[in-house]
Amino acid sequence: MSEQVAAEGLELRVERLLPASPEDVFDAYTDPEKQKIWFSILDEKPRLVEITTDLRVGGHQVAVWGPDEQSLIREVQTFLEIDRPHRLVTESVGSGPDGMTVTTRIVVTFEARGDATLMSVVQTGFPVPEVRDFFVGEVWVGAFDRIEAFLGIGDGRS
């Protein structure tokens, strides 16, 4: 599948063409039971993953994951806009085991492209370019790879 990345200023833009309908991709991205699968789908050793979601404007998704108890990452997303299956806007507050906290705004769109979906992400509010670059090169590429693998096993389909 194709992927394009552009990083300008302290904003990132990433996208990936995924092999499923916008509804299936949206659900894979937002459903906590599906997320628990794809968060670990490519790992040799399963990660610790706990996710709860209240998918409504003003609701929260809380995700805690990592390879072990000492290396947990925590992210709390507040849903600002939900237009299933086209658009999702959140404020994300993430923290790592080192105590660093990053607050960003994430806009995700899901656009039908034949029998596939172009999932596009615009994330803003990074404190320094190095953090943004880490999200471009590691976080979103990894998330797209995992979601794509999940959709490929058939569990992402309705």
pLDDT in tens, 105-126: 999 999 999 999 999 999 999 9
Mean pLDDT, rounded, for 148-156: 77
**Taking 60 as the threshold, does the pLDDT of residue 1 lie above it?**
no
pLDDT for 5 equals: 43
pLDDT of residue 154: 59
What pLDDT score does 9 carry?
Answer: 57
Tell me how far apart the alpha carbons of residues 99 and 84 are, in angstroms, rounded to a whole number.
Answer: 34
Specify whether the CB–CB gap between 29 and 108 falls below 8 A.
yes
pLDDT at site 67: 85
Tell me the pLDDT band of 6, cut-offs 50, 70 and 90: very low
Q: How many residues does the chain have?
A: 158
The token duo for 37 is: 């699968």
Structure tokens belonging to residue 123: 């994330």
Give 92's strand partners: 77, 104
Q: What is the pLDDT of residues 65-106, one digit of tens each?
A: 888 888 999 999 999 999 999 999 999 999 999 988 999 999
Residue-averaged pLDDT of the chain: 90
